[in-house]
Structure formats: structure tokens, C-alpha cells
Structure 1
């Protein structure tokens, strides 16, 4: 083939490649627009796909908006099969009246996620991974009927093996034990090599299920639709939830200097039944062995502490945790103290925080100085100037990774859960939180926040990062709807 023939062939290849690129861009752009998601997120994906036709397509395949109608329908069927009329009566038996100031807030939560206000005899803050592990092992040891665990990360390391051994011991005693983990977060435990860590547990009679397992026959792995929940239910009466996973990374006894600073909750009372309800949904949805036990939702004495379990996920468009946090911020008249490891706010969340600061509310934001994602850290810092201009005080937790997810409002409201203050937790993953109404809990949460402030440095309002860093932060912010 001579030079002219090579030139003609090259032009033909370029011509057809251009048409393929154009047609694929039109099809994918139409597909994204038809998803009818947030305009900023939609535009970000359209720009990514059109500027990076090959790389962008690969990124979209793994991280892009995913239709969940099939998953949603499957979860609805499981929910309907789960709840008998007797179950519903038991669940709704303990329904205290919320405080006057929280009437509309409680109604918003119930309407957006279907879970009603309940009560607890005890709500205990667990301010570290080691404390949480000790509490979990104590509750497991005391179990008489059943133990249910659901975790995003369950590592078969020193911490994980200690929990598995405790579960196996109770299974041999006849306690019904069920463990549900996320396929991506707990990839080591779910792998073939992880079977050896589960062998003793399974032999003892423990049950195991995987949430959204990765399958080779799927063209698009479910990267976004993960269970990010960290919950444990013991006999339907004691429950744990919050941000702490089962891993050495969050255990100070194994890693004294590097373990994450995190927060969890121990609940006793009627609110635990709603945690149980969520676990049973997730267990059935994940294909766990059918549950025929008759004591999943035991009656309990009303408690003095009002607790509202808030659940959200991509199977429900209501974004209950997102709405609850923004509504709580709007209610604030004195203070808003927010702690989160990943701060990539939606437009409405950012507006709520800055509005509160502008109307004179004391707004404090605590984030890690260095998270486990450089891009997320950079994206968070891109919002600092706007926040500070409105009067928000921004603090960075120094040293080890900060992983607590808490919200404190005025003197009577506190929230602890698994959700980060970002788009992924608000819209893409299954999350759970507990909103607690009461001055005692609020004071404990405030004391913990103030203790953490002693390990923070305040971000200077006139902070000027080097030009390359500012550019990186700006680019990261553009990508924030995709994070």
C-alpha cells in the first residue's frame, strides 16, 4: 500500500471513528438525561463522557448512575413478605409522642423512610473502635436467642477473627447467628481465600450472606449500590449502629497510633426493633436463608429517650437521611456541630449550612486533615472559603484518620450513623442513622465534639494554598457530584 492509499485509509478510519464517537455520545447523553437525576450530576457525567470518550465510558460503567428499579421491586417484595399484621402491630406498638419542637421533623422522617419514632431505655455513646468491639463482644456473649450483624467492612484480621470466634461459640450453644456483609467492602471475607476464616463459624451453624455479590456475568458491577450500614442486633433488644466497621483499622488495641477516630451507638429498647426490621429486609434481599423465627420483634417496655431510626438507600427516592439532616439544620437556632470524614455537600446541604451561619447560628464543621482519599479531601477544601465567608468555623482533625459521622443541633438533638455528608451516602448507598431527641444525649455528644476539637487545628480564613493545590481542589470540586 503506497502513501496515498495509507492517507485515504486513515481518513476513512477517522471518518468512521468520528461517527461512532458522535452516535455513542448522543445515545449515552440521552440515556443519562432520561435518568432525571440532579442537574449538576447529570451535566458532570455528560461532560466526562464527551471529553473522555473511552476513559469516561469506563468510569461511567463502574461508577455512573445505575437504574435500581429491579432492585427496588425485589426489596419491596421482600418487605411485603416479611411483615405480617402481627409484626406490624408489634412494631407500631411503641409510638411515643415527639417533643413539640420535633413534631414536624419526626413526621418528615416517617414519611420519607416509613420508620416511626420509638423510644429507648438506654442510649450510650461509644467513642472508639476498641470500646465498640468490647461492647459488641459483651452483647454477643449475653445473647440467648439470635444475633444479627450487617457490616460494610468485615475484615478477617485480628478484630474480625475475634468476632467470628465469638459468633461461632454462640452458634454452638444454639443461638441463631446471621452475618451479612457487603461484597465490595468485605471483599477479603467474600473471596475464595476468605472461606477458611468462615469455616469454623459455618460449621458451628452460623449463617452467612453477601450483599450485591460481584458476578462475572454482569456487564456493570454494582459499585454504588452498597450496604454501607454497620449494625448489630442482639435478641431484638440491644442494637449497635454508627460508623465503626469490623477491622483492625478501627481498633486502637491493634493499631494504637493509626486506628481511626470513630463513633458508634448502643441502643436498648423499642427503637432496636426498627434496626431489626431493616436487617431482615437486607437479609432477605441478599438471599439469606429464610427466617422463620417467631421472636424477631419482641415487645419491650417504653423508654424515656426518644429515638428515630432513619434509613435511606437507592431503592427509595426520598433520600431520608439527606432530608433529615437538612431539616435539622434548618431548625437550629443556637448551634450546629457537624463531624464527617467526607464532606462533599449537595447544593441544598451547603445552602442550609451557610444560611444557618448567616442568621447567627454557631456552625462548626470537623473533617480530617487527611482522609483516605486525596480527591475527596481536595473537594472538601474547595468549599472552605464559601463556608468561612458565611461564618462557618472549619476544623481539621490532625494525626490519625477521622471517621466519625455526627450532627449536633442546639441543646436537644443529636444524630449518629453510617452516612457521610456527601452525595454517595445521601443517594447511592444504603445507610442508617439514629436521631436522638434529648438534652442528656446532646450534652454527651457535645462533650465528645469538644474533646475532638483539642486534636484539631482551625482552618485559617485567609488560607492560601499553592497554585497547583488550588487547581487540584477546583478540579476535584467539579467532580464532586460523581464522588
Structure 2
């Protein structure tokens, strides 16, 4: 799911909920209550007998310089295979932090593997944002009923119920509940980790029959792991977090809760994914096979882990460097500063791109310095958030006029991107949030280039200084631009009228000079909605 809530539907629901709240003389409106005592915990040290994941990480980092980290980019199904190896191989600890965990085959599979890990003695900590817990509340209760497991919830609503009810009954606390934890982080045994933009659901691993997101994330080993683990701890112990038990108020019958959980996650509607087996463009066999063999081909480099402070959920700004070396700072500011240090080229991938005046000015300064700037984002025909797209459209002609190249993903992108029948017949959308700077630095994480990531949501990311990895990401984006996107251009002689071109043949071909995926009625509706919904909410 996107960082932004679908605010057209939400606004309508909020109005109804607000009316109900007023009708009740505000008696039901509430704010966040205290939870009582809570036990702080931190990441387990890497010690004792070597676990299977310890051995994989050690073997894969052989030959790296001291202080280096190792990286392997993962596209699509390979990322699901990797997560399953980590879930099933962990013997010490599993720490997962996610914005959205779905009640579908993928989400239930992850929860099942977390239960199985706990049953073999692994300490499991699961932290989720509260926005989408309405459907998975019973599953979170069930997982938390097992020994060795603790579930916590970030910035919870004061009441349960549907989204409209929860927002409506927190009407006077809206500035808090509108701020969400968009982070995605997965650390196994303190030795291997996964970071990127994916949530845990079918649509992020090409398992949905209708709509799917394609994304890049990265398997990480080496020196940056303690930084990633300490950021998880910073959130886990934050005052903005509550125990799941204090939020969900589970039944006292633990055995019944466990039985209900088992029935859901062990059922026939939670099938194993089909293993992904192929050879990538660099000649490497599937990552899942390499993990099973005990050695992964990694690219070595230096990395910096960073995240917004969890206090951002309460409208507070905090900046610090943790003892591990991790940065707690404003994620968007860190990306902006890095972009201003570029020497030759910036490629930006963002599914939801609404730069705002400050970022627009930074891009203009870069253009004046001769920096080549390229943007990859969703077209209106491909996006799942049309209203956010209206915010982007306000800047598009100005960006083109300043020399930026813009590529918009077209709705049948999957045909050119995936092997065999993967993604066939489904809508495929961009979800990767990344910057490639000067062919040597890659920023990858959860950060969208929009006002919500900037001002409201917390985010997590990695700065990876590794030319080999940056070149690999750049090559993928090149394929994406050539085979799965429209190039957007200004009409000759115009500073506002646009054309959409295909560039996958011997010669570019103009496709249309009207917004792909939008008839006159759609454009009119989106324009009216853009007048109602402020850009700061996008």
C-alpha cells in the first residue's frame, strides 16, 4: 500500500464520523491512554554457537575490508524466497518492523513462520503501525499469545473499529493519528537484514491476481547491521509505541486465541509461494538457492542507516547519532543534502512524487550546475493514488522546463519486466523508492518524495556507497525506462503542454498528447479533488 491514505474516501468517512462524534456530544471522542508498565528490550548480541544465518553471513562477507557491508539487490519473488530463508534459519532473534502487514497468503505465511520460530526458541519482536490493524488484530493477538513473542503497535488510535470510526473518534487528536510509521525493516539473528520499500502482502511479491507492485529491496550483511538493529530498538522502546495487548485487549483464554490463530495461518488459503528459480543478468543463480547453499554473492561497500525519530509521530523533531553509528534525523533532508552534493547525475525512483517548493528549488540548483536529473514515477494510468498524482502534475512541466527527464510507468509494465508468466494479466505499478547518485551511491528505503514522507510519516533508509550496487540499480532503471515507461516531454514551443512517447524501439514514437489513463471526466474529478485536499496531505 502507498504511504498516503486514500484521502478522497477517507475525507468522506471522516465527515460522517465527525458528525457521529458531535451527535454523541463528543462523549466518545478520545485520545491515547497510558498503557502501564512495559519492559524495555534491545537486540540480542551475536554470541554463542554460530547459527545457520551466522555462517551464511560470515561466508558471504569473506574478503571484504574491515568496516564494510555486503549487499544483494532483490527484485520481486526473490525477496520472498529470501525472507523465508531468514525466517526459517533464524535461531537467535527475529525483529520485524512494518507499516502494513496484510491478512492474505503472504502476511499469514510470515506470521506462521514467526510462530514456528518462536516455538523453536527464537525471540520474536514484531512492530507494526496501527493504521491497518483493523483486519489483522486477531492474528496479532494470536501470535502474541505464544511464548518468546512480543507484538507492539506504533502510535495507536485510542479506539478500535474501522478506519473512519477510529479517525472520527480521535477527531481532536487528528494531528497525532495522521502521523504514521512507514518504516520497513527485517533483522534476523543480528547478522542478516532486509530493507527497502515492501510491506508484507501478496501485492508486493507478485502474488495478487489483479494488482501488484514491483519493488527493489536489499539483503544486507556486515558492519551496518548493528546500526539497523539499533534503529529497530529505538522504535521498539519509544514512548510512541504500545504493547499489542494494551491496544487490542485480547481475550483471556490464551489457548483459544492460539487455536484460532493456528486455524488461520495453517489453512489451505495460506499456500507456500512457488520458489523463484532463474539466473539474473549478472549470471548469478537465484538468491534463495545461494542462501540454501550457505554463501551469497554480495557487493561490498560502506553504508549508513538512517531513520526519522519516532517522536515525529508526536510532531517533535529529534536528531542524534546512536552509539551504533545510526542516524536519527529527517530522512527527506538527508536525501536532499546528498542530492545537492551530486557531481554528475541523479536518478530518482518514487511512486508518489510531489516535491514541494523547497525540493523543486533544489532540483533547479542542480540543473543550473549541469547535473543530469531523471525521474521515474507512475503514470496516472498506473498509479493507485490518482489524487497524489494531481499533486505531482503541478510540478511536471516546470521540472521538464528545467531539463529533468521524466519517465512514467505504463500500466502493462510487467510484460517487459518479469520472467515467464509472473505478473501476467495484472496491473503492475512502481513502488521502489530509491536514488542513484553519480553511479556510485544508492539510497534505498521507505522514503517517498512527497509531503507525507517529509512532514508526517516516519521513514527508514540506507545510504550505500558501493559503485557496483549503484550500477546494478541504474541498469535496472534503464530497462524500466526503455521498456516499461512513457517518456514525458514538453511539446515543441510550449512550456506547459505535454507529450507521451515510447522509447523501446529503434526510434522514439509519440503515443499521445493527452494524459494516459484519464478521460475528460476523470481529469475534471481529479482537478476538483485537488482543490479540496491540501498538498500537505498527499
Superposed pair shares fold, TM > 0.5: yes
Alignment pair present for 1:121 and 2:48: no
Tell me the CA shift for residue 281 of structure 1: 2.0
SS state of the match for residue 215, structure 1?
A: coil
Tell me the CA shift for residue 232 of structure 1: 0.6
Tell me the CA shift for residue 368 of structure 1: 0.7
Alignment pair present for 1:386 and 2:398: yes
Tell me the CA shift for residue 210 of structure 1: 1.3
Equivalent position to 2:136, from 184, 189, 204: 189
Q: How many residues align?
A: 367
Alignment pair present for 1:422 and 2:369: no
Tell me the CA shift for residue 460 of structure 1: 2.6
CA contact (8 A) 2:144 2:151 kept: no
Equivalent position to 1:406, from 431, 434, 452: 434
Q: How does 1:131-210 map to 2 (within 5 A)?
A: 131-190=78-137, 194-195=138-139, 199=142, 202-203=145-146, 205-210=148-153
User: Cα deviations across residues 128-150 of structure 1 (Å, max 9, x unaligned)?
Assistant: 2x222211110111112110101
What is residue 284 of structure 1 aligned with on the other side? 237
* Aligned CA distance change for structure 1 residues 272 and 284 (closer, same or farther; 3 Å): same
Give the whole-Å Cα distance in 1 for the aligned partners of 2:528 and 2:370: 29
Alignment pair present for 1:268 and 2:280: no
Give the whole-Å Cα distance in 1 for the aligned partners of 2:389 and 2:218: 26
CA RMSD in angstroms comes to: 3.5
SS state of the match for residue 309, structure 1?
A: strand
* Aligned CA distance change for structure 1 residues 424 and 200 (closer, same or farther; 3 Å): closer
Tell me the CA shift for residue 198 of structure 1: 5.0
TM-score normalised over the length of structure 1:
0.68
CA contact (8 A) 1:312 1:426 kept: no
CA contact (8 A) 1:379 1:473 kept: no
Alignment pair present for 1:476 and 2:513: no
Give the whole-Å Cα distance in 2 for the aligned partners of 1:159 and 1:409: 33
* Aligned CA distance change for structure 1 residues 472 and 161 (closer, same or farther; 3 Å): closer
Give the whole-Å Cα distance in 1 for the aligned partners of 2:399 and 2:455: 23
SS state of the match for residue 434, structure 1?
A: strand
Give the whole-Å Cα distance in 2 for the aligned partners of 1:329 and 1:368: 21
Tell me the CA shift for residue 334 of structure 1: 1.5
CA contact (8 A) 2:214 2:429 kept: yes
Alignment pair present for 1:238 and 2:292: no
Tell me the CA shift for residue 382 of structure 1: 1.7
What is residue 225 of structure 1 aligned with on the other side? 179
Tell me the CA shift for residue 180 of structure 1: 1.1
Tell me the CA shift for residue 201 of structure 1: 6.3
Alignment pair present for 1:367 and 2:377: yes
What is residue 345 of structure 1 aligned with on the other side? 355
TM-score normalised over the length of structure 2:
0.62
Tell me the CA shift for residue 304 of structure 1: 4.8
Structure 1: gaps spanning 5 or more residues? 1-53, 62-69, 88-117, 290-302
Q: How does 1:450-469 map to 2 (within 5 A)?
A: 450-453=478-481, 454-462=483-491, 463=498, 465=514, 469=523
* Aligned CA distance change for structure 1 residues 260 and 278 (closer, same or farther; 3 Å): same
* Aligned CA distance change for structure 1 residues 156 and 202 (closer, same or farther; 3 Å): farther
Give the whole-Å Cα distance in 1 for the aligned partners of 2:374 and 2:342: 13
> Is 467-476 or 206-215 further displaced after alignment?
467-476
Q: How does 1:92-103 map to 2 (within 5 A)?
A: none
Tell me the CA shift for residue 359 of structure 1: 2.8
Give the whole-Å Cα distance in 2 for the aligned partners of 1:224 and 1:189: 20
User: Cα deviations across residues 304-341 of structure 1 (Å, max 9, x unaligned)?
Assistant: 52101111141425652112211121112221100001
CA contact (8 A) 1:311 1:432 kept: yes
User: Cα deviations across residues 123-168 of structure 1 (Å, max 9, x unaligned)?
Assistant: 111122x222211110111112110101000012100111111111
Larger Rg over CA atoms: 1
> Is 211-220 or 380-389 further displaced after alignment?
211-220
SS state of the match for residue 322, structure 1?
A: helix
User: Cα deviations across residues 22-78 of structure 1 (Å, max 9, x unaligned)?
Assistant: xxxxxxxxxxxxxxxxxxxxxxxxxxxxxxxx97x969x9xxxxxxxx99xx9xxx9
CA contact (8 A) 1:120 1:267 kept: no
Give the whole-Å Cα distance in 2 for the aligned partners of 1:372 and 1:394: 19
SS state of the match for residue 145, structure 2?
A: helix
SS state of the match for residue 187, structure 1?
A: coil
Give the whole-Å Cα distance in 2 for the aligned partners of 1:287 and 1:368: 35
Alignment pair present for 1:434 and 2:468: no
Give the whole-Å Cα distance in 2 for the aligned partners of 1:168 and 1:385: 51
